[in-house]
Amino acid sequence: MTPGPLAYFLVAAFGIGAVVSGWLVFRTDSMLRAAYWLMVSFVAVGAMLVVLDAQFLGLILILMMSGEMTIMAIFMIMFMMNPAGLNPMTMVHQHRTSIIAGVGSFLVLAWVGVVAEFPNRPAPLEDPTIALGEELLGRSMLVFESAGVALLAVMIGAIALAAKQGRFGDAFEGSEEPDMDVASGDRT
Amino acid sequence: MIDLLLVIAAAIFGIGVYGALSQQSFVMIMMGLELMLNAAVLVVVTFWWGTTGGNPSGQLLVIVILAVMAIEAAIGFALVTAVYRSRKADITEKLKKLRN
């Protein structure tokens, strides 16, 4: 299917939204807001998937990431200092190296994407969700089931790691508030 | 259209690389990893849409990546909890050594 001008406009608009909100994740002082900016980035990418006729994948990406970012926001409040961004602080290390790595990976990947020639076999207009369902419950069921088993194993492992009386003893031993002594320099 | 999508995905991936390497907070590092996986999802759907003729295996790969994202988040949060219990650490600088 050849994309029309509306599809171009929507992809560009959502793409800019995804990139800008992704950048704001690391520019805001509030860690809580960072979680929500990340959710905005995922929602924008999910909207791009819907424009690309992958409606099911776009919607489950949005649903899944909305839940995950809510959990991430709770973790921010639980564990991190300054979740609301009331005290401006910079919590970065190896900043120059990170910028070079990020910009470098962007330039290399964008160059490959622009220069390389890809086959032009666009997806047909038939409902891709039906095709995905038949694939999941037919030829590729083993892959689908393996993902489920992996998630079950992860649930057991995560509970073992995070349990109240887990490997590292009583949970209340670690229930003190984090050290808020910013002036000591160990957090900046 | 494919070029545009790949450039957008490259930008998201680059931001994720920057975040994963530069942040001190464990959860912020996880956010960088999530952004990189977000870019991977976009690239896979782009190739499925534009180059495979609608082969559903491309969509299946996205399902696998989504499972990887869930696994990364679950294990990441569990490790954050375990590390905080054992070391009271919430940033990488507090973990000078892995032993004990």
Report how far residue A2's alpha carbon sits from residue B53's, in angstroms, rounded to the nearest whole number: 12
Longest Cα pair distance anywhere in chain A, in angstroms? 62
- pLDDT (0 to 100) of residue A179: 55
In a domain, B100, yes or no: no
Q: Say if B1 is an interface residue toward chain A (CB within 8 Å).
A: yes
**Nearest chain A residue (CA) to B61:** A143
Instruction: Tell me what the pLDDT averaged over chain A comes to.
Output: 81
Say whether A169 sits in a helix, a strand or coil: strand
Chain A: give the shortest CA distance to residue B22, in Å.
5
Residue A72 sits in the same domain as residue A147: no
Tens digit of pLDDT for each residue in A28-40?
877 788 888 999 9
In a domain, A98, yes or no: no
When divided into structural domains, chain B yields a total of 1
When divided into structural domains, chain A yields a total of 2
In a domain, A64, yes or no: yes
Out of A30, A61, A86, a domain closes at A86
Report how far residue A54's alpha carbon sits from residue A123's, in angstroms, rounded to the nearest whole number: 10
Chain B: give the shortest CA distance to residue A118, in Å.
7
Q: Which of A39, A16, A15, A38 is nearest to A27 (CA)?
A: A38
Tens digit of pLDDT for each residue in A143-164?
888 989 999 999 998 888 887 6
How buried is residue A123: exposed, middle or buried, by Cβ count under 10 Å (0-12/13-18/19+)? buried
How buried is residue A117: exposed, middle or buried, by Cβ count under 10 Å (0-12/13-18/19+)? exposed
Out of A86, A113, A148, a domain closes at A86
Alpha helices in chain B (DSSP H): 2-22, 26-51, 56-87
In a domain, A91, yes or no: no
Domain of residue A3 covers: 1-86
Q: Which of A103-107, A140-144, B24-28 is least confident?
A: B24-28
Domain of residue B60 covers: 2-94
Residue A83 clears pLDDT 70, i.e. is over it: no
Report how far residue A33's alpha carbon sits from residue A77's, in angstroms, rounded to the nearest whole number: 11
Place of tokens 């910028």: A99
**Nearest chain A residue (CA) to B11:** A106
- pLDDT (0 to 100) of residue A108: 93
- pLDDT (0 to 100) of residue A173: 55
Q: Which whole number is the average pLDDT over A90-98?
A: 81
Tens digit of pLDDT for each residue in B19-67?
999 888 888 888 899 999 999 999 999 988 888 777 888 888 899 999 9
**Nearest chain B residue (CA) to A91:** B24
Residue A2 sits in the same domain as residue A81: yes
Q: Using an 8 Å Cβ cutoff, are A45 and A69 in contact?
A: no
In a domain, B35, yes or no: yes
Contacts of B13 in chain A (CB under 8 A): 105-106, 109
Which CATH number do you get for residue B67?
1.10.287.3510
In a domain, A1, yes or no: yes
Residue A22 sits in the same domain as residue A80: yes
In a domain, B57, yes or no: yes
Say whether A170 sits in a helix, a strand or coil: strand
